[in-house]
Chain A
C-alpha cells in the first residue's frame, strides 16, 4: 500500500488510503493534474543520501509512460507471434515484464544522454526513438528496419543509442568509452550502460568500472536483474547477488524495476551524480522477464509457471501503474482503454509493414563493411565468386 497525495488544479489534498481517490473528482474534467506516490525504499551503497521516495507524477507523464509501456508489451507480443509464424528468423529476445526499466529511465534522460545495452534491445530501441515498424521490420529483415534488416534482434541502433550488443559483457567498456567521449567533448552528457545479471559476472565490467572511477567518467552501470542469466538463476551464478554493491568503490543504488516511478527517480538521481563530475554510479534495477531467454527457451525448465504467474499478478509494471493512475484519478478507465486500442492499431499496422515491406537485395550483403573501401570486390563463398562493396550512406557519428 502506498500513500497518495493529489493535487487538483493547484490545491493539494492529502489522503492516506488510495481507495478514497474517487472522492476527489472535482477538477475541470473530473481528473487530477498530478498525484504523489511513495516508492519502495531504495537501497544505497556508499551513498549518504538517495533519491526521494515521494514521487510526484503529472497526468501528462502518466499517460505517456502508460502508452509507452503498453506499446512495448504489445510490440513484444507481436514479435513473439511473428517468430512463431517463422517470419522472424534468427534471434528474438523479448522484453515483456521489463517495460518499466527503459520507460522509467528514458523519462529522466536529457536529449543528449546516451544508452548502450545488451541483446534484449527491442524496448530500448523503441523508447530511444525508433517506431514499432523500425523494430518489427528489423526483426523480419526488411529494409525499413532500423538497421536495414541486417542487425536483427540484438543489433538495433539509432542516434544516441549504441545498440543492441550480442557479446555478453562486451558492451560495458563501450559505454564507459561513450561516457569518456561525452566528457571529452565538454558536455555534461551521461551514458546509461546496461547489462543483465548474467553479464554482471564478466570481467570487463570491472575493468570498465575501474577506469570510470579513476577518470570520473559520467557513466551509470545499470544491472537489469531479471533473476536469470539464460536458465541460470542469480543465486547459482553470482557469489553476491547484491549487484548494486558490486562496484565496490563505485556508489550504488537498488531500485524496484517494476515501478516506473522509482526507476525514473533513481535515474534522475544517478544522472545528477554523473553529470556533476562525481564519477560513475551503479544501479541495480530488479525486474522480471515473462518469456524465456530467447524463443527457443520456453522459460519453464528452471523456474515454475507459478512463479511467473505470481509476478504477473502481483508485480506487473503495467497493471500496477494502471491501478495507480485510476485510483488517483490521473486517468479514466475509458481513456486507458482508448490508449490500449490505439496501441493495438499501431502495432497491427506495424506488423503488416513488417510482413510486407521489401527485404534488402543481395547487393546489400556486402554494404557498409568499410566507410571508404579500396577493395570494392568482396570475397563470396569462393574466391572466384566475388560481390561488390557498396556504401549506403553516411553514419550518424561521422
Chain B
C-alpha cells in the first residue's frame, strides 16, 4: 500500500476530499492554513470543482459551509483557534439547527502560542456546543477523521469538531489513503423548519440536541479512536488525549507501558473506559494538549475519589505545549538532559523583511507623531504587528482582528486625540469594516491607516478579499472622499507621507490613509511562478 508523507494539515485536506466534500470554507490562520491550500492545489478538487476559495473571515466561512450542508452536501470549515471566537455565534447555533449534509469544523489550536495571541483550547467550545469532538493522535487518524467525519456528522445530525494542535498540523508522517467517496447530491432538509431558530422551534431542537447526547456517548464508547490498553502496574492509570498519547508511548515503545492507558481521540469522554481505569487504578494521570479540560471534569470540585495528577497539581505545567520530556518527568523517568546552550547565543526574533512597505509606513508615522505624546497607535494582527519591536516601536496594541479601529475610536471617545489605527488590508476586510462604520456614524476623531500590501502575508501570502476594493468600501461606509488618501510607501515618498500623516492626524473626523505596495515576498513568488 502506498504511503503518502503528509503533514497533519495535508492529511486533513486529502481526507476531506476523499470523504466526498463539496466545499472547504476558511480564512487563513496558522496552523490551519495549509488544509485549504492543499485542497486549492489538489487535482481531484479541481476536477470535481470543489469550492476552495478563501472567505472574508471565519464567521462567513462557517456560515457558508452550513449553507452547503443545508443543501445536502458535505462541507468543511477550517480555522485557527481564535478564528472560532469569530465564528462562535454560528458554531453554537449550528449545533442546534443540526446539519443536512455532513459538516466538519476543523479547528487548529496553538499551545505555546507559536504564532498566536493566546492558547485557548477549542475542545471547550465543542463541549459547550455539545457536539462530538475528534482529536487525532497521528496523521493517519487525521486523514481518517476528516474522511469519515462527514458520515459521523450525518449520523449524529450535528456538526463535528476536528481539533488539532500545531505539532500535529505541521508534522509529517506516512498516511495510507482509502477509496475516494462520491459527493452527496443536492437534497433539501427533510424538516423545512430545521434551520429556523425561532424560540418555539429552537427550544424543541435544543431538547433534541440534549437527548442526542446519549448517542454521542455511545459512539465515543464504540469509537475506533478510543481504547483501553492493558497494563500490569495499577498504581497509576493514564488518560492520554490526542497527540499526548504519542509522547507517552515514546517512552514505552512496542506495548511496554506498565500502566493501563486510556487513549482518547473522540469526545464526549467514553464513560466505560474512564470508569474502568478509575476502578482499577490507585491514581490517575491526565495527559492532554491545551487546558485541563479532561482533568477538571474527572477531578470534580471537591477532589474526592481517585487522586488525579496533571496540569492542575503541578505534575505538568499549567500552560504551554506538552512534549516527551515533560511526560518523562511526570512519570518520574530520568533522562539525559543534553548540553547547555552557550550564553552567547542570541535570540533571533522574526522581523519585517528588508524592503517591506510596512516599514516605510512606520518610519513616516513615527516622524509625524514625534510632536505628540506616545501610545496613540492601535494596531492589529499581521506582519505589521512586528512594528511593536525595535527599531519602530510604533504600536501600542494587538488584540484581535479588527480591534485597531474600534480601540482607536474608544480612546478618541475618551479624549486621546489624535488616535490612530494601523491595520492590514486583509484584517480590514476580516473585521475592520464594521468598526469603521461605527466611527463614521459618530464622526470620531481617528485616522485609520490601512497598510495595503495586497496580500494576506502573515500566513503566507494568500489572496486578500478586499483586493482592489478598499477605497470604494471606505466611500461606501461614508468616509469623506477628501480624507481618503493613497500613497506608495517607498523611501522616495517619505516626506510626502509624513506630511499626509500630519495633515490627517490634525483633521477632526475620520480619515483613511492607504499606503499601498505589494508585499515583496508575494511579488517575488508571483514572478517565480510566472517563469
Q: Do A and B bind each other?
A: no
Residues of A bordering B, CB below 8 Å: none
